[in-house]
């Protein structure tokens, strides 16, 4: 089992956890921290398979970048979602009333409520 050490000022806790999670299918992962560093212990599940330090470092860097992009684009995504939801608001009452009257004009109860046996009997 190896132990990797990462500076807390460079990497966020979220990026570290996400990077570690990506290796849980191949290794047993233990995370720890002190005031200055995060510690990652990796113990591979399959003795033949090896996880290099560089591989984990690339993953934590990728997760850090994803997290930073998420933070920088959060407001834009919220605005886009709000706009999409706002444009799908139900039509105003005037449109509903005209739609109801149009439906009533197209169909009458006498036309719809007929006994099948009377018509086709």
Residue 87 CA to chain centroid, in angstroms? Answer: 22
- Tens of pLDDT, residue by residue over 51-109, are 999 999 999 999 999 999 999 999 999 999 998 888 777 655 655 666 666 666 676 67
Dist CA 38 CA 8 (whole Å): 6
pLDDT of residue 113: 75
Exposure pattern of 69-95 as b/e (b: 16+ CB <10 Å)?
eeeeeeeeeeeeeeeeeeeeeeeeeee
Dist CA 67 CA 5 (whole Å): 20
- Tens of pLDDT, residue by residue over 2-47, are 899 999 999 999 999 999 999 999 999 999 999 999 999 999 999 8
pLDDT of residue 103: 64
pLDDT of residue 47: 87
pLDDT of residue 21: 97
Using a 10 angstrom Cβ sphere, with 0-12 exposed, 13-18 middle and 19 or more buried, the burial of residue 40 is buried
Query: What is the domain partition of the chain in residue ranges?
Result: 2-101
Asked whether residue 121 carries a pLDDT value surpassing 80, the answer given is no
pLDDT of residue 65: 96
Q: Say whether 62 sits in a helix, a strand or coil.
A: helix
The pTM of the full predicted model, rounded to 2 decimals, is: 0.64
């Amino acid at each position: 089992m190896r132990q990797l050490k990462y500076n807390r000022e460079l990497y966020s806790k979220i990026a570290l956890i996400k990077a570690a999670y990506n290796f849980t299918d191949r290794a047993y992962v233990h995370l720890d921290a002190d005031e200055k560093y995060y510690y990652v212990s990796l113990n591979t599940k399959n003795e033949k398979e090896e996880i290099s330090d560089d591989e984990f470092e690339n993953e934590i860097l990728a997760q850090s970048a994803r997290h930073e992009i998420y933070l920088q684009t959060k407001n834009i995504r919220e605005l886009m979602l709000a706009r999409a939801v706002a444009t799908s608001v139900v039509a105003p009452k005037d449109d509903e009333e005209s739609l109801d009257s149009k439906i009533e004009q197209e169909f009458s109860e006498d036309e719809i409520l007929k006994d099948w046996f009377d018509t086709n009997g």
